[in-house]
Amino acid sequence: MNIYCFGNEFLEEDSLAKEIVNEIHLKDVSFIKCNSPEELFQEKDQINILDVVEGIEKTILIKDLDQLKENNVLSLHDFDLSFFLKLMKEAKQIRNVKIIGIPMKGDREKIRLDIISKIKEL
């Protein structure tokens, strides 16, 4: 299973997803660190993403892109990714997207364990 990790390692509040995958080692799971949404074009049916989500306190699993809003209630920190995913789905370029959303800050070990738990739900 591939999990595409997004974030900006130069911004502290947006770097956690890419950093924390270095601490997660699971059989049959590959973490792909992405710099651009275009890197998702290689997947067609199921896209799994790990990214920081602004405005949440705990790790969540987003199963429906309609859960992403353009306001700050539940939006991916990187608005471009949210917009891009919705556009791909509307154009029928992708079928299913699941996003493991992690908070910008928090107990790193708890977030790591929560990510592992959410991966099992994918």
Domain CATH for 63: 3.40.50.1450
In the predicted model, what is the mean pLDDT of the chain?
Answer: 86
Show the domain range for 56: 2-121
DSSP 25: -
Which of residues 36 and 2 earns the better pLDDT score?
A: 2
Which of residues 108 and 76 earns the better pLDDT score?
A: 108
pLDDT average, residue stretch 57-68 = 88
pLDDT in tens, 67-104: 776 444 344 545 578 778 888 888 888 888 999 999 99
How far the first Cα of the chain sits from its last, in Å, is 9
Distance CA 7, CA 30 (A): 17
Q: Does the pLDDT value for residue 37 go beyond 60?
A: yes
Residue with tokens 């790591």: 112
Q: Does the pLDDT value for residue 42 go beyond 90?
A: no
Largest CA distance in the chain: 38
Report pTM: 0.86
| pLDDT reported for residue 69 | 63
Residue 61, beta-bridge partner list? 100
H or E segment at 52?
strand 46-54
Neighbour-count burial of 45, counting CB atoms closer than 10 A to its CB (0-12 exposed, 13-18 middle, 19+ buried): exposed
Neighbour-count burial of 3, counting CB atoms closer than 10 A to its CB (0-12 exposed, 13-18 middle, 19+ buried): buried
Q: Two tokens at 67?
A: 């859960």
What is the number of domains present in the chain?
1
Task: Report the alpha-carbon angle 49-26-30, nearest 5.
Answer: 45
